[in-house]
Amino acid sequence: VVIENLGGPLRTAPHADGPSDPASIRRSNLGLILRHLRDQGPRSRARLAAETGLSKATTSALVGDLVERGLAVEGSLEREGLVGRPGMAVELHGRSVGGLGIEINVDYLSATAVDLRGDVVAEATRPIDAATGPAEVVLDAVGELAGAVLSELGSKSVWPAGIAVAAPGMIDHPSGTVRYAPNIGWRDVHLVDELSARLGPGAPSVTVENDAKLGAVAEYAEVSRSGVRDLLYITGDVGVGGGIISGGRLLRGSNGFAGEIGHMPLDPGMRPCACGRRGCWETMVGLAAFLREVAPIDDPVHDPSRDLEERLGELIARHDDGDERVVDGVAVIAAALGTGISILVDVLNPRHVVLGGYFAYLGDRLIEPVSDSLRERLIDPEVELPIVSASSLGLTAAARGGAHLALERVFADPTVVEV
């Protein structure tokens, strides 16, 4: 069973339970060409044939089919490639095909739709109160937001290939269920069934995935064209979550819970964690730990009713003014972050580590000491260190990742888009 192929080296070897009838083989080869164009960029038919191992005649026929469906376009001169031999290039098109991602947060919903090239076609947000409101009310709001964005796509003549919802918690992706999301108080909510029922017949298919995993998918889409295939995304909020792309694939694990890195037992102080256990990494580097380290408990930056961005801005200003408490606090967080990331780097060997959430706000104040701690622990000086960077996608990462995930249907089988 093929899960999402988010990019990377082509898998041309026939699989035991792979397609065998001509129609299935054709669908699978169309997907192969389309993914190759996405991952490698525009190139000539001849080069596409050489690189995919398909014959020139087959490649030409497949390209013709993709062009007819509006998923590829040809005509412009090939910009890269062999010197002195410019030819007609085939490139990804798909301007009229969109994927929709919707993120459920504690206090807002965020929707992003992207076209096949990854460009944003529509965006919207809605305030909600998921912490105290019942799941039905949140689901109604998700349905209403999805409906609004779907009509916007319709007015722009963009066909929606699918909807992927990002939820903060443990997700059973195959059954479309949110198993446990402590921050919004959900347990066993059948999100896919509930949302599909609200959208009615004829609506695009719905999936659900963990928000940090989808954040990783969005970050991966940003860097995969530069050849990165292994990426670790770490997001710091009240909770600390992770998303792992390994060999170009989203790692889910046997129960779908891979990436619950906030609960690695790393805290020697054994502080209690929201998950019910003690000593989780989250209690050392989560937002609560950060605020505890950088300001006394009666400081206004602890006030949860104040906007988080504003509070973080205030703390960054104090840090840059040399406020000792904040400088020391950031150093404590950076050291604890470095310990956990060192373990994850040893286990996963990522090429790129992207920090999201409040970590991204602190930027180089955290990234430099974390990179230093990775360098200090390097066993073999010949080995390249992973690149550590701050997410540039901000609050839209998970919704955008959902939009990419929704489009995987088209990359797996381009014939879902009608001629």
Under the criterion CB under 5 A, does residue 261 sit at the interface with Zn ion?
no
* Radius of gyration for the chain, computed over Cα atoms and rounded to the nearest angstrom: 23
Site string for Zn ion, 267-296 (x = CB under 5 A): ------x-x-x--x----------------
Q: Which is nearer to Zn ion, 209 or 267 (CB)?
A: 267
Smallest distance from Zn ion to CB 170, Å: 12
Cα–chain center distance at 208? 13
Contact 123, 111 (CB under 8 A): yes
# chain residues binding Zn ion, by CB under 5 A: 5
Which residue type sits at 268?
Answer: P
Query: How many whole angstroms separate alpha carbon 5 and alpha carbon 20?
Result: 20
List the structure tokens of 28: 């699978």
Query: How many whole angstroms separate alpha carbon 407 and alpha carbon 292?
Result: 41
Under the criterion CB under 5 A, does residue 238 sit at the interface with Zn ion?
no
Answer positive or negative: Cα dihedral of 178, 413, 148, 402. Answer: positive
Beta strands 240-246; 231-236: pairing state: antiparallel
Smallest distance from Zn ion to CB 336, Å: 14
**Residue from 38, 45, 229, 263 in contact with Zn ion (CB under 5 A):** 263
Smallest distance from Zn ion to CB 263, Å: 4
Find, among 109, 217, 203, 218, the residue nearest to 159 by Cα: 203
List the structure tokens of 361: 């706000």
Rounded to 5 degrees, φ, ψ at 398 are -70, -40
Identify which range of 95-103, 104-112, 235-243, 265-273 contacts Zn ion by CB under 5 A: 265-273
Contact 24, 14 (CB under 8 A): no
Q: Which is nearer to Zn ion, 162 or 262 (CB)?
A: 262
Q: Which is nearer to Zn ion, 117 or 278 (CB)?
A: 278
Q: Which is nearer to Zn ion, 88 or 270 (CB)?
A: 270
Q: Which is nearer to Zn ion, 31 or 241 (CB)?
A: 241
Smallest distance from Zn ion to CB 254, Å: 20
Under the criterion CB under 5 A, does residue 170 sit at the interface with Zn ion?
no
Smallest distance from Zn ion to CB 105, Å: 20
**Strand ranges of the sheet holding 108-115, from the earlier edge strand across to the other edge:** 120-127, 108-115, 97-104, 159-167, 206-210
Q: Which is nearer to Zn ion, 124 or 275 (CB)?
A: 275
Q: Which is nearer to Zn ion, 286 or 338 (CB)?
A: 286
Residues of the shown chain interacting with Zn ion in the complex, contacts defined by CB under 5 A: 263, 273, 275, 277, 280
